[in-house]
Structures are given as C-alpha cells and as structure tokens.
Structure 1
Amino acid sequence: MASAPVRVAVIGAGLAGLITAKTLLDDGFNVQVLTRDESVGGVWCRSRVYPGLRLNNVHGEYHFSALPMPPPKDTLGGRLSGEEVTTYLEAFAGKFLKDRIMFAFDVKNIVRGDLGSGWDITVQPIGVAQRQSVMHFDKIVVCTGGSSSPSVPRALSESRTRFRGPVCHSQDVKHHVDQMVSVAGSSPSHLAATFFANKGCAVRMIFEEADHFLASPFALPEFIRKSRFLPIMSCDIDLNSRLERFLHTTKIGSYIVHGFWNALHAGALLAFGIPRTSPIATTHSAFWSIRVNDEGAGSDNDFYSHVRKGDVKLVAPARAATFGEDEESVILQDGRVVQACAVVLATGWTSSWDHLFADSTMRDIGLERRPLPPGEDIRVSRSYVSLSNAPMGRPHEDSGMSAFHRGLVPVKSLDRRDFAVNGAVFTTGPAYTFELPPEEEAEKLAERQASFIRARYPEALAWVNESFSSGINLFTWPQHVDRLLADMGLKTCRSGGNWLTWPFKVIQASEIATLHDERENMRALSR
C-alpha cells in the first residue's frame, strides 16, 4: 500500500512561494500555500499595486521557465508595469496551483509538532477574531521574504496620532491615492514620490542617503544586461574562471573592474542630467551596494525627471524624527520643520519571521542572527584585490547574520530535512536544493559566506532584515544558481558559449525548464 504524500506548507504567495509550491507539487508532495493576502503576488498582489508602479528590472528577470511572460506594453527600457507583473503571477497560480492556495489566512505561530515531529501552524482567517485553528504539516518552506512587514520608527509611530492628515507606509500607498503627500524614506519612496508627482501633487522627499541606480541614454543590449557580464564584474565569493580571477585578484583587473563601475556611475548621472552635487548623486559606485535600482533609459514622468523639473523637492541629508505639535508638519532630527498635508513612510521593513516564530523556535531552527567573527571580513577581503579600499560601513555590532546553507536551509536544520526558506536571498534565480552537505561543513561554508558579505557589501547587513539576508547575490545570481545546480549534480553555466563569448551569452529562464526531469533521472541512477 502506497504511503500518503508528504504534506508541505508553503508560507507566502509571492514569487518565491509560487515557484516553490509548483516545484514541490511536481516532485510529488502534497502542497498547501498559506497567505494573508486575498490574491497572489506578495508585494505585487493586486491590493498593493497602484497606477504608474514599475518593476525596476529588465523584462525576463521576473518570470518562470514554465510560463513565458508577455512583452511589456510600454517598451521603453523593457520595464514591466506593476499591473503586468500582477497579471502574470495570477496567471501562473491559476495554471499550476489551482485549489492549492488558502487566501486571507494569517499565520499566527509556527512550532514543532508533538515529540518534535512535523510542524503545527496556527492560522486565523483575516477579519475573524477569536477563530484560530491549528494545521499540521510534515515540512514547511517559509517564503515571506523581506518586504512584507513594514518597519516604522517608534518616534514616528507614537506621534502619528497628532498629525492631522493621513499617514501610511509605502506598502499602503494604493489606499491613499487621492491624498497629497510628503515622503520620508529611500528606495520605495522614489516610486511613491513619482506617483504623486504624476498626479500634480507637491512632493518633498526626506532621506539620509540616496539609493544607487543604473541608467543609460538608451536601453542596453541584452548581451550586456542579461548575460554573465555584470555578474562577472561584480565580485562573487567563488571565482571559478580565469577571467574572474584576473579581474578580482590582480591590481590590473581591479582597476578594470572599478573603472567599469565608476563609468556606469558617471554615465547614469549624465543620462539623467543629475549634477554630482545633487543629494541623489551617491558618493561611490553601485559596486559596493545592494540598494541599486535599474532605471533603464528613463522617461519624461519618472522620478529623476520630476526632480529635475522641481516637482519633487529633495530634503537631504535628513531624517524624520517626529510629527509637529501643529498637526501639519514633520520635525527632522536637526530641528528643521517640513510642512505636509500627508505623509508616506518609506522606512523599510522588519523581519517577516518575527511574527511567525517564538524566539525559542527561532533559535531551535537556526534563524537567529549571530555575530560574525571579528576581523574575519578583513582576512577574507585580502583574497580579493577588487574589495580593497571599501567605503566605510556601519558598525559591525549591527551586522549579525543567520547561518544558512546556500541561502535556503539554516545549518541547524540540515539534518532534519523538514524546514527551508526561499525568497530570502537577493537573487532572481531561486531553486530547491535536495543534496545537502554535512552540518559541520555547511557551518564553515556559512561562516565564510557571512564574512565575505561583510567585506563585499560593508553596509548591507546593517540595512537588511533577517528575512532578507540569508544570502546576498544581487548581480552574482548566476554564480549562486550554478552552486545550487552543482550541489544537485546537474549541469552548470547553461547559457553556453566558448572561451571568448561565454560572458556575453544571454541567460534565459528556459535553460532550467527541464530541471524536474533532470533531477528525476539523477534519483533513478542513485537507486
């Protein structure tokens, strides 16, 4: 008599949750997706997408191999609108995950089951108080990501009740589309400021340091923007080719790397007509940052155009401290006063794991942040000449990191094989790893990865929350995917090419369309 399929809960219905659920279904698991939203998409669900919202990635980087994405309606720079992303994800869920998603259910707590077997998940229907129930699963994959739980500074939260106008987080902009606003924050504030400026509102944007951005007078060719070229120029922890070793371990190579990124930085400012004295002209190139927006060729109604025209006034460097006693102003930390009719707080996100697990469960699973070995990042950086002379980062006391294997499984949970996360890595190529190394080896790999990240992106670990820092592979996602493929014993570097052309071969999602069959063949051979 055949045993019942293993029950797996996937928490979250964003990009990571949808592709994780389909992959597990294809592998024969009994999958149930849980989401607090009323539709799929996560940050791109229909209730959060507002007119004018655009994806700041080129077309083709946010779709799955099983379902091609239609070309963007607005071909300027190949950027998709939020509406197009939402429609695509709804189509994907409708085709592959019908009757597998429980909508409008809030996950209140996750604990190990009786005798440590499986997982008990406490859920509550949204809007129905005191009606909780417990569901049991054999395994879980947490796909809630790092941009689903808004973070609002305490002083602003406590004083917002005395502000006369509406105050919302950037996540809830759609529900305030008819209000005039001032915006405080960074990356999401660009989108909100652009939306309200396009409506004719007077916008003031308050921020400490601007995000980096990539831009050019015209859309870059695919062999530059969608190949391994940028990943090669962005130092990865593993330098597997002679070209990468030359670029990142020699002085001449390092000059080439930073000359290239400095040229990109200067070209972006030139393309958008931004003087170097502007508050949005960052002091160093995007090489050192994970806060990077790909703006493409721009348009007449984008954020930078509104800044040039004066529709968006920049208040920087500055930080909002509290709301004024007059009920219509924001007080900055330096004492300045900014008048406002309404305020959007683009103040980032807190870990989405905090409300899912008790502290003891976090420690048991291995999700808690741990301090990095002092000075280890300095030792690691000496192996990479291109990482010399890094800009000063924030204090390392704020830079702990959880120990994950390949950004998917906490090292502490490797042997149990019943818990994983997806969507916590800065990458656009998620996959599911089945072949895992011994815990001791994985621990060493995780420590090396954490030390490398501190050296590679000095400020990143002080900025990202736990649920968005299991690994950082912003531009180096092809190398990250290759490591996952290698772990499974499958073909790597699938875009092909010879010794001369391989850096410029366009990477396409269709290259991994046969992963399920390949893994099935590998399992058959190992039986």
Structure 2
Amino acid sequence: MKIAVIGAGFAGVASAKVLSELGHDVTVYEKAPDVGGVWSRTRRYPGLTTQNNKDSYTLSDLRMPKVFPEWLSGEQVQSYLEMYVEKFDLAPMIKLSTEVRSAQPAGGGGWDIAIAGADGETTEHHDHLIVASGVFSEPFAPAYDGVDELEAAGGRILAASELHDLKTVSGKHVVVVGYGKSACDVAVEIAKEAASTTVVARQLLWKMPRKIKGVLNYKMLLLTRLGEGLFPYQSIRGAEKALHAGGSKMAGSMVGSVESVTTSQLKLKKLGLVPKGPFTDIARSTVSLATEGFFEGVEAGDIAVERDTEIAAFVTKEGKPYAELANGRAVPADVVVTATGFKQELPFFSEEIQDQLTDDNGDYQLYRQILPLSVKDLTFAGYNSSFFSPLSAEMSAVWIGSHLGGGHEVPPAEEMEAHVTARLAWMRERTDGHHARGTNIIPFSMHNIDEVLGDVGIDVSKRVKAVQWLLPIDPKAYASITPRLVEKLAARS
C-alpha cells in the first residue's frame, strides 16, 4: 500500500521503519524542520528531560549511546531519533517542514492529503493514513481574564514548549502554571535566571524520587511489571491476583511504604507540599518524577509554590503586571509560563470526521488505542500516554502492519464498540476524568503492549515476561517482533 504517516516523532519513525519492512510505500509528513516530535528543537524547553532511564526509553532495535547519561536531556533524545533515521535509511521517506493542512477520505477509498511545504501546496493520494502526531502535540493554555491588561503592562504569556531561551525570563518575575513534570522542570531552570519564580498549582501531585533513600532506583519500582501490577487493571489476572487479594492489601501496603519514604525524603511536610490524596493517586493520570533541584529550590526560597489555587485574573499595580490568585494573594507576573497539559486535537480532520472518532464525552474511540470504530483506512500509532512511549508506538505500528497484511482479524464491529465503551468508562472512573480524552494508558503500558501483541499472535517468551516482573523493561527484548511478522506475512502470502 501507499501509506501516509503524520508526525515524525517516535511513532512516526517507528511506523516508517516497520511498514516499509513489510513492503509498503511510506511517506512521513512532519511540519517541524527536524524529527523528534515533542523532542524537536522547536519545542524543547530548558530543563526538559526524560522520566525514564535511557535503557527503557528506546525503540527495540537501537540502544541509546553508552556515552549518554542515565537520565536523558531533550536534545539527546532528539539526537537518538536522528541516529535511528540514519541507521535504517528512513530519511528518503520523511518530508520535513511539511504540514498536513487537511486529510479527506477519497471516494474510492484511501485519503487525499493536502500538504504545504517547500514546494508549495499540493494534494497527494494514499491508500491508508496513520496518525502519529502524538497526544502532546498542541499545548493547552487556560483562558484568563485581564490578558490584555497584562500585555499592556509589558507582560507576556507563553507555553512551556515555547520557552527556548532563558534570556526571556532573565531578571523577570515569573509565574509557572502547573505542577506536572514540565512545570517543575522548567521552574528549576527559570529560578536560575529570574528575579522571582512562583509555581501556581491548582492541585498538588505526588512525585517519585529518582532514587528512594538515595539508593533504590525508581525504575526498579515502577518500570517493571511488578510496579505496574501494584495498581488494579480493568481485569486482574495471573500473578496480579495475589497482589490484590483481600481488597488489595498487599499492593496497598507496598505503595503505602513508598508514600512514607517519599514524604520524608522530599521533605514534603516541612515544605507544606504533601498532596491531599493518597500515594496511589500517582497513577491516576500520569506518574511524575521529582525534578532534581525543585524541592531543594523551594526549601532555599528560590521557588515559591502557591498550592491548591489558580490564577483568577491579571491586573496592574503601579503600572506592573500581577497575577491575582483565587486564594486572595497577588504575585508579580512579568512572564507567565503555562505548563498545563496538551489538547488532543487533529486539526487536519474535518469536524465530521472528528465526531466519528469520538464519543459523546469527547473521548477517542480507538480499539487497542489504534483502530477507529467507523472511519476506514485510518489507524493511530502511539496515540497513548505510556511509560514506554517508544516501545508502545513501535508495537502499535506492528499491529497496524499485521492488520493491513491480514495477519490477524479484529472482532466484529459491535464487539469492538462494546469493548471500547467499557474501557473508556473504566478510564474515566479510575482517573476521575483525567484520562486525556481516552489516550492515557499510564500506568498500564505493558498491559497495552501485551494486548496488542496478543492480537498479532507474536510475543516475547514467558521467560522474558517473568524477568520483567523484577527488572525494568528492556525494549531490546522485542527486537525480533517485526522480523517475525515479516516472515509470518510472507508465509501467508
């Protein structure tokens, strides 16, 4: 088939590699001037790092360079993707600085893709379309009162992904909105240059130290099947039954001990930063790693945290911009950096198509996070928020390749719809609505990969999975999956 892929992050380059090896003619469209997706130099903010150690944050068939540190910078991740493109000769398939303006179903099947690039605007036809633009493609910025007043006083608002140079905040009074990883990462860097740095957090989240008591690496806790199994999945099977027997007492006890150690190690009581909910809430929407230097900066007075509140409006006082908070306080706000998440939007689709992709709650109805229920010749790669985003994206590309090649059958439409409906209801309830429109699968990343490969009928051995219970997931264990699929489909044809 002639296949179009939108996006050249991990999902896009993995799709190009997997599907081209299966004999398809693949074209990847990327509006940025480089590969990388969220790691592109056009989107990296100061202090951007991975939450994973380098050995678990890769595609299956290329390890991170040995000279890279355990915790990768955004620049290093982007460099890795460039190495991947070079190693597997993917560059001829990728059109950089090329934006997909619209994608419309063609009358006889497939898609007509309207693109704008260096050669102007044109429309190209493809038999199949893969959306690999990711769930973190468009920053979400809250609507505030008084923005005009803020800007008139010389203030400005920008998303974290739009902050590329600390000169922007040098000597300024900066307000960082949010308390997720990106908010804390960027706050640490801003505090080095700004006159003041205030983090405004509507809700505090639990943070996991990189090393518990300075010894036990967090990857041994949460980047294993055991760590994932501590949280009850939609259906509990196998060894997880023992963890959750008796009302999850064993799992609860293990998680509770981590809560106690984390509270002490990060000095959360002393700093007044103990979140309101239990530590199990860390898996409600996304697990956030504690940023090195953040709590130290709060203790030193370099970073102030206004907790359990939000910006009510922007005002001027004596000609200078301030952010008035819902708690009644006002803080100077020369620069406001919003690190408030992302919108799951697909602007290249018409409203009619977007309505077909989502339910009445606005959640994406995707079987296995991949296949739409009613839109033909369309799949999604890596359209999930996963602990192991590269591997999850690669295995979704494998599923797509198997599906297009007739390597496996999907259930009847009614069965898939019932499955997706039940899953979305569970996700909404489990996360209290913080499930990123049905795209967030954390902390159940390996469950999703198991289901995807279970459909394909190709998986790693039981021995490998047993090792993964106690040791962090190693994507290299999945390097044989694509070659085995190539053999399977070749034998079938």
Q: Which residue of 2 aligns with 1:135?
A: 124
In the alignment, does 2:381 pair up with 1:422?
A: yes
The structure 2 residue matched to 1:491, chosen from 435, 439, 459, is 459
What's the TM-score, normalizing by structure 2?
0.87
Q: Which residue of 1 aligns with 2:176?
A: 183
Query: Do the aligned partners of residues 448 and 72 (structure 1) sit closer, same or farther apart at CA in structure 2, a change above 3 Å counting?
Result: farther
1:172 Cα deviation (Å)?
0.7
Structure 2 counterpart of 1:238, which letter? S
Query: Do the aligned partners of residues 83 and 502 (structure 1) sit closer, same or farther apart at CA in structure 2, a change above 3 Å counting?
Result: closer
In the alignment, does 2:441 pair up with 1:447?
A: no
Aligned residue for 1:275, secondary structure, equals: helix
Structure 2 counterpart of 1:164, which letter? G
Q: Which residue of 1 aligns with 2:94?
A: 101
The structure 1 residue matched to 2:55, chosen from 38, 51, 60, is 60
The 8 Å contact of residues 12 and 144 in structure 1, kept in 2 or not, is answered as yes
Greater relative CO, 1 or 2 (CA 8 Å, sep 6+): 2
Greater shift, 116-125 or 442-451, is seen at 116-125
Query: Do the aligned partners of residues 158 and 226 (structure 1) sit closer, same or farther apart at CA in structure 2, a change above 3 Å counting?
Result: closer
Query: Do the aligned partners of residues 200 and 150 (structure 1) sit closer, same or farther apart at CA in structure 2, a change above 3 Å counting?
Result: closer
The 8 Å contact of residues 427 and 433 in structure 2, kept in 1 or not, is answered as no
Q: Which residue of 2 aligns with 1:387?
A: none
Greater shift, 324-333 or 165-174, is seen at 324-333
Aligned structure 1 segments of 4 or more residues deviating by more than 6 angstroms = none
The 8 Å contact of residues 495 and 511 in structure 1, kept in 2 or not, is answered as no
The structure 1 residue matched to 2:83, chosen from 75, 91, 94, is 91
Q: Which residue of 2 aligns with 1:473?
A: 441
Structure 1 counterpart of 2:235, which letter? D
Q: Which residue of 2 aligns with 1:238?
A: 235
The structure 2 residue matched to 1:329, chosen from 322, 326, 348, is 322
Structure 1 CA distance for aligned equivalents of residues 84 and 146 of structure 2: 38
Structure 2 CA distance for aligned equivalents of residues 57 and 189 of structure 1: 17
1:481 Cα deviation (Å)?
0.9
In the alignment, does 2:281 pair up with 1:307?
A: no
The 8 Å contact of residues 409 and 420 in structure 1, kept in 2 or not, is answered as yes
Q: Which residue of 1 aligns with 2:363?
A: 401
Structure 2 CA distance for aligned equivalents of residues 521 and 133 of structure 1: 37
Structure 1 CA distance for aligned equivalents of residues 294 and 414 of structure 2: 48
The 8 Å contact of residues 46 and 163 in structure 2, kept in 1 or not, is answered as no
1:11 Cα deviation (Å)?
0.6
Q: Which residue of 2 aligns with 1:519?
A: 485
Q: Aligned pairs, how many?
A: 466
Cα RMSD for the two superposed structures: 2.5
1:404 Cα deviation (Å)?
1.3
TM-superposition CA deviations, 1:320-352 (whole Å, max 9, x none): 133214451112234432112222122322223
TM-superposition CA deviations, 1:20-63 (whole Å, max 9, x none): 22111111111111111111111111233344322122222221
Structure 1 counterpart of 2:374, which letter? K
Q: Which residue of 2 aligns with 1:389?
A: none
TM-superposition CA deviations, 1:1-22 (whole Å, max 9, x none): xxxxx21111111111121221
Structure 2 CA distance for aligned equivalents of residues 305 and 411 of structure 1: 48
The 8 Å contact of residues 135 and 385 in structure 2, kept in 1 or not, is answered as no
The 8 Å contact of residues 486 and 492 in structure 1, kept in 2 or not, is answered as no
Structure 1 counterpart of 2:251, which letter? V
Superposed, which structure 2 residues align to 1:281-360 within 5 Å? 281-287=275-281, 288-295=283-290, 299=292, 302-325=293-316, 326-353=319-346, 355-360=347-352
Greater shift, 450-459 or 508-517, is seen at 450-459
Structure 1 counterpart of 2:414, which letter? E
The structure 2 residue matched to 1:164, chosen from 130, 143, 154, is 154
1:359 Cα deviation (Å)?
1.0
Q: Which residue of 2 aligns with 1:460?
A: 434
Structure 2 CA distance for aligned equivalents of residues 208 and 317 of structure 1: 5
1:246 Cα deviation (Å)?
2.9
Structure 2 counterpart of 1:86, which letter? Q
Query: Do the aligned partners of residues 505 and 194 (structure 1) sit closer, same or farther apart at CA in structure 2, a change above 3 Å counting?
Result: closer
Structure 2 CA distance for aligned equivalents of residues 516 and 473 of structure 1: 23
1:208 Cα deviation (Å)?
0.7
Query: Do the aligned partners of residues 291 and 475 (structure 1) sit closer, same or farther apart at CA in structure 2, a change above 3 Å counting?
Result: closer
Superposed, which structure 2 residues align to 1:10-159 within 5 Å? 10-71=5-66, 73-74=68-69, 78-96=70-88, 97-113=90-106, 115-125=107-117, 131-155=120-144, 158-159=147-148
Q: Which residue of 1 aligns with 2:358?
A: 368
1:369 Cα deviation (Å)?
3.1
Structure 1: give runs of 5+ residues left out of the alignment. Answer: 1-5, 372-399
